Amino acid sequence: MAQGVWTIAEQRDGEIRKVTYEIVSEGRRLADALGQDLTVVLLGSGIKDKAAELGQYGADRVLVADDARLEPYTTDAYVSVISELVKANDPAILLIGATVEGKDLSARLSGRLGVGMAQDCTAFSVEDGNLVATRPIYAGKAYAKVTFENSWPQMATARPKVMTINEPDTGKSAEVIDASFSLDDSALKTRVVDTSKDESGKVDLTEADKIVSGGRGMKGPENYKILEDLADVIGASVGASRSAVDAGWRPHTDQVGQTGKVVSPNLYIACGISGAIQHLAGMSTSKVIVAINKDEDAPIFQKADYGVVADLFDVVPVLTEEVKKYL
Amino acid sequence: MNIICCLKQVPDTEAQIKVASDAKSIVTDDIKWVMNPYDEYGVEEGLRLKEKFGGEVTVVGLGPKRVTESIRTALAMGADKGMLIMDDALEGSDSLAVAKALAAAIKGLEYDLVFSGQRGVDDDMGVVGANLAEFLGIPHFSVIDKVEVSEDGKSVKVNRPIEGQTLVIESNLPALVTAQKGLNEPRYASLPGIMKAKKKPLEEKTLSDLGLDAAEFGEGARKVKIIELTPPPAREAGKIVEGETPQEKAAELAKLLHEEAKII
């Protein structure tokens, strides 16, 4: 019978990514609820020295798959290795971070294993020994509570920034095991030929702690400077509404909403955004929402914790100066 | 170059979503159904490649009869042929089953590239494209905003934005690409296009036409079972920041974010 909780670590350039600590922590809670062990699978090249510290967040053991062909991530290589390890070990739960990479991996892996999968979940629990997952659908206009039927492992991805990271216990260390796997070159059909890094140093919206976002009320691309200034001061990333992106003011990668990114930062400051339902769907899980809009009837105010009814061009520059007093 | 574009119909993104009384589905009475926005980018990209390389674009949809409308839209944009996989037994199928049915339909066609949207904006799973590629035994690239097919039509190079980076990845064809916003600007169907679309072939296939066993599809075969749907958790009404002038309001907001929300 399937036994144990597994999580797949995500690393980039040999550094463990934050989402890994989130899912290892959540995996620990699920393992405790089941009274079972937590195994983390870490794939990459020359990454073994990063394995033991995952024990501080609750991993009992870390299976390390070390191979030059596992760096950088490719769907083919990861799916091949993980599906082989899963079939050999039969875990009950398989948890992955719902990052761009994690969603890609989980999608293909579910097909390879022929199992059901719950994507981008915001809560997990164990009921009668089974995994129950809660996931937003329609970009958060509704929530679905789901479970699995005759589908092992019970597979799910967790939305970044939602799962609480355990306080690291520096006295703990995970058992590190070299995974045995076969990886056939003929399975590797895609090649990463180039990587261009975003040099702005800004955190991606899906991982940002704070977001300053601008909509149609910004009136033009040149005016985003005031949002960037505020964002620089408070350490935020800059987002945009669909109308701002469709107008060509901002790149599509900045779009927040149902056809853009679904975000859940600790602070979301919406400037000149009226709050169309497709936008609200993408940001209403933010912890604190601020709306700055001169139209007091704008729907965004119904979602905002703090509403400022005023012209954003009067408010934002002053706000940038005022917050400096507290930093 | 022969291209397949997969298509799903979803509620318009402006639609309010209400949970039905069974707590397992949504109220569909007032829903306006549209082609999934991400699938539209896939159709457009397929048309552009056809214009460059020649060949045919076939649109494959799955769902009830109303999906015909979206397939006709794609035909009016310029696609050549349509296929609708329609069977009562498909109702309630999960992503794995949908991918299985699409794979069975596409296996019988000639293709170099398959497009799907990076996710449906209804269930937000983003799984069907990758599973379809798995069942077809071809590589896939997910969430792609640039596609370049080599001059000889034998390989493809794509841009895949991930957090803080863009990867350039390539493979030989055939392959499957899931389309992301930014890939292109989909065209509108022209009036002559709409007229022509009415005469373009649109086949309907049932599961048995595809040689599939109905027992493997639908609600009963789901591997992920819905326990219940609920409306999103309500947010408590917030406060309007006081102040005589915008400057005072800004100062008060900064103070509230620091002292009350403790976030600055």
For position A1, what pLDDT does the model report? 83
Q: What is the pLDDT of residues B106-159, one digit of tens each?
A: 999 999 999 999 999 999 999 999 999 999 999 999 999 999 999 999 999 999
Q: Is residue B89 pLDDT above 90, yes or no?
A: yes
Strand, helix or coil for residue A206: helix
For position B63, what pLDDT does the model report? 97
**By CB neighbour count within 10 A (0-12 exposed, 13-18 middle, 19+ buried), where does B64 fall?**
middle
- Domain annotation covers residue A52: yes
Mutation pick from A17, A110, A234 vs chain B, by most beta carbons of B within 10 Å, is A110
Neighbouring C-alpha atoms within 13 Å toward the C-beta of A69: 18
Name the nearest CA neighbour of A319 among A238, A216, A212.
A212
Core vs surface per residue B213-241: b (16+ CB within 10 A) or e: eeeebbeebbbbebeebeebeeeeebeeb
Domain count, chain A: 2
Q: What is the pLDDT of residues B138-149, one digit of tens each?
A: 999 999 999 999
Name chain B contacts of A151, Cβ cutoff 8 Å: 223-224
Q: What is the pLDDT of residues A171-192, one digit of tens each?
A: 999 999 999 999 999 999 999 9
> Rounded to whole angstroms, how far apart are CA atoms B117 and A288?
32
Q: What is the pLDDT of residues B220-231, one digit of tens each?
A: 999 999 999 999
By the CB < 8 Å criterion, does B32 face chain A? no
CA distance A127 to chain B (A): 12
**Which of A138, A161, A187 is at the close of a domain?**
A187
For each of the domains in chain B, give its residue range(s) and CATH number, in order of start. Answer: 3-221 (3.40.50.620), 239-264 (no CATH)
Query: Domain limits at A17?
Result: 5-187
Q: What is the pLDDT of residues B153-211, one digit of tens each?
A: 999 999 999 998 999 999 999 999 999 999 999 999 999 999 999 999 999 999 999 99
Tell me if A108 and B254 make a contact (CB, 8 A cut-off): no
Interface of B with A in 134-153 (CB under 8 A): 134-135, 138-143, 145
Residue whose entry in the numeric block shows the structure tokens 């309010």: B16
Residue A151 or B236, more confident: A151
B93 CB-near residues (< 8 Å, 6+ apart): B101, B217, B218, B219, B221, B222
By the CB < 8 Å criterion, does A184 face chain B? no
Q: What is the pLDDT of residues A49-69, one digit of tens each?
A: 999 999 999 999 999 999 999
For position A198, what pLDDT does the model report? 81
For position B200, what pLDDT does the model report? 98
Tell me if A142 and B230 make a contact (CB, 8 A cut-off): yes
- Domain annotation covers residue A193: no
For position A202, what pLDDT does the model report? 81
Q: How confident is the model at residue A38 (pLDDT cuts 50, 70, 90)?
A: very high
What ipTM was reported for this prediction? 0.96
Could you tell me which chain A residue has the CA closest to the CA of B94? Answer: A116
- Domain annotation covers residue A198: no
Same domain for A129 and A228: no
Percentage above 70 pLDDT, chain B: 100
Q: Compute the mean pLDDT over every residue in chain A, rounded to the nearest whole number.
A: 96
Name the nearest CA neighbour of B64 among B43, B89, B101, B82.
B89
Same domain for A44 and A147: yes
Name the phi and psi angles at A151, rounded to 5. -140, 105
Structure tokens at B166: 């863009």
Looking at residues A6-13, what average pLDDT do you find? 97
Q: Is residue B234 pLDDT above 90, yes or no?
A: no
For position A183, what pLDDT does the model report? 96
> Rounded to whole angstroms, how far apart are CA atoms A44 and A65?
7
By the CB < 8 Å criterion, does B78 face chain A? no
For position B184, what pLDDT does the model report? 97
- Domain annotation covers residue A285: yes
Same domain for A16 and A95: yes
Name chain A contacts of B238, Cβ cutoff 8 Å: 289, 301, 304-307
Tell me if A301 and B38 make a contact (CB, 8 A cut-off): no
